[in-house]
Amino acid sequence: MGNFRRVCLLTVAVFLAVCFSFHGLAVDGNRTVAGSQTRTYFQETRQELTIHTIEGRQKGPTLLIIAGIHGDEGAGCLTAERYIDVKLEKGNLIIVPRLNGPAVDSGKRCGLGGDMNRLFNLPPGSSNPDAKLVNLAKQLIRQSDYVLNLHQGHDFYNPRWVSRKRNPSKWGQSNVIDKATYHLPSGRKLELGNFAKQVANRTNQRISDGDFHFTVNNTNTSGKRSRHREQRGSLTYYSLYHQQKIALGLEATKNCSLAEAISYLTIAINAAIEEAGIRAEALPSESRQSAGELWEARSKSLSKGKGKG
C-alpha cells in the first residue's frame, strides 16, 4: 500500500509539473485577478510575450485575439489591448496584443525570423528564432474555439475589380477566411463563410460610411488556383487545417487615421464576440473619439517612457 501511495503521489507530481510547464514552456511572470490571468513568457528578452486570459462566470466558447504578428500594423496591438480588462458573463477570451515583439518594437513587418504569418508550417525542431513564439501561439489556438488575427492592409478588398484601390488583390476592410465550408472527419461542417458574413453584417450596421464596410475575403488558400497560396503558412490556415478552428483575419484599412482603424477593428471584434455567443458586462467603446483619446494617451505614455518631450 505504501508503495502504491508513493507511485500515486509521484504520478500526480509529474502530471502537475507537465501542466504548469505549459507543454515545456516555462512561465516567467504570472498575475491572477478574479476571472483573469496574465502570463509573461521569455521575460527580459526581445521576444517577451504577454498572454491575458479572461474567464466568464458562465461556461461558453473561447475566442483568441492575436495582434502584432506584423509589426507595421499598429492599430491591431492598440485595439487588442483594449480587451484585457473586459469582464465576461459567459465564455472566455485569450488576448495576445504583441505576438511578434521585435517586429512591433521596430515598426516593421518582420521580426527576428522573417514574416511570422508564413511560419506556421515550419518543420518540427526548426531553428528559426521565432519558432518558440509560433509554438506558443499554436498552444493557445488549441485552447480556443474561435481565432481572430488582427491586421491592417492597404486600400480596400473587393471580390471584383472596381478601381486601383478597390479590387481582389487588396486586403483592407475585410474578414479573411481560408475556406467557406470545412468538412470535419465526423461529417460535421465548420461554416466559416457564414460566420464571417454574419460578423461583417453586424459590423457594417455600425459603420455609417459605406466605403468602409467590411467584405468577406475568401482566399481559398488550399485551392490549386488560389491567388494566395503563400497563406498556407499563415496562422489562420494552421488554425483551420491543423486544429479545425473557426479562424478569421480581421483587416482594417491603412487608408484612414489610426484612431479610425482602431475604431473599425473594435467594431469587428465586438461583432465577432457577439456572433460567437460570448457575453461581456461591457465591451470597449466603438467610437472614433474614444479610440483617438486612447491613441493620444498611449503616445504620451510612450514618449514619457522614452524620455522624450
Q: Check: CB of residue 249 under 8 Å from CB of residue 149.
A: yes
Rule CB under 5 A: say whether 70 interacts with Zn ion.
Answer: yes
Our CB check for Zn ion shows the closer of 53 and 255 to be: 255
Beta bridge mates, 150: 250
Site residues for Zn ion, window 73-92 (CB under 5 A)? 73
Nearer to Zn ion, 36 or 174 (CB): 174
Q: In angstroms, rounded to a whole number, what is the distance separating the alpha carbons of residues 216 and 149?
A: 15
DSSP SS3 for 72: coil
Q: Residue 272: left if φ>0, alpha if ψ -120 to 50, beta else—which one?
A: alpha
Under the binding rule (CB under 5 A), the answer on residue 254 touching Zn ion is no
Contact segment (CB under 5 A) with Zn ion among 38-46, 67-75, 275-283, 294-302 equals 67-75
Q: Return the DSSP state at 60.
A: E
The least distance separating Zn ion from the CB of residue 74, rounded to whole angstroms, comes to 11
- Is residue 104 within 8 A of residue 130, CB to CB? The reply is no
Measured from each CB, the residue nearest to Zn ion is 151
Nearer to Zn ion, 70 or 254 (CB): 70
Q: Least distance from C-beta 150 to Zn ion, angstroms? A: 8
Our finding on whether 151 is near Zn ion (CB under 5 A) is yes
CA distance 76 to 252: 9
From the list 46-54, 69-77, 240-248, 255-263, the region that binds Zn ion by CB under 5 A is 69-77
Give whichever of 69 and 94 is closer to Zn ion, judged by the CB atom.
69
Q: Cell 502570463, residue? A: 39
Give the nearest distance from C-beta 120 to Zn ion in angstroms.
13
Tell me if 238 sits within 8 A of 147, measured CB to CB. Answer: no
Residue 41 near residue 35, CB atoms below 8 Å: no
Site track for Zn ion across 15-54, x = CB under 5 A: ----------------------------------------
Least Å from the CB of residue 70 to Zn ion:
4
Binding span for Zn ion by CB under 5 A among 2-10, 147-155, 218-226, 295-303: 147-155
Write the DSSP symbol of residue 6. Answer: H
DSSP code of residue 156: E
Coil, strand or helix at 148: strand
Give the interface size with Zn ion as a residue count (CB under 5 A): 3
> Cell 461542417 appears where?
189
Give dist(CA 25, CA 175) in Å, integer. Answer: 32
Stretch that binds Zn ion, among 80-88, 145-153, 195-203, 233-241 (CB under 5 A): 145-153
* Interface stretch with Zn ion, choices 34-42, 79-87, 151-159, 194-202 (CB under 5 A): 151-159
Interface residue list for Zn ion (CB under 5 A):
70, 73, 151
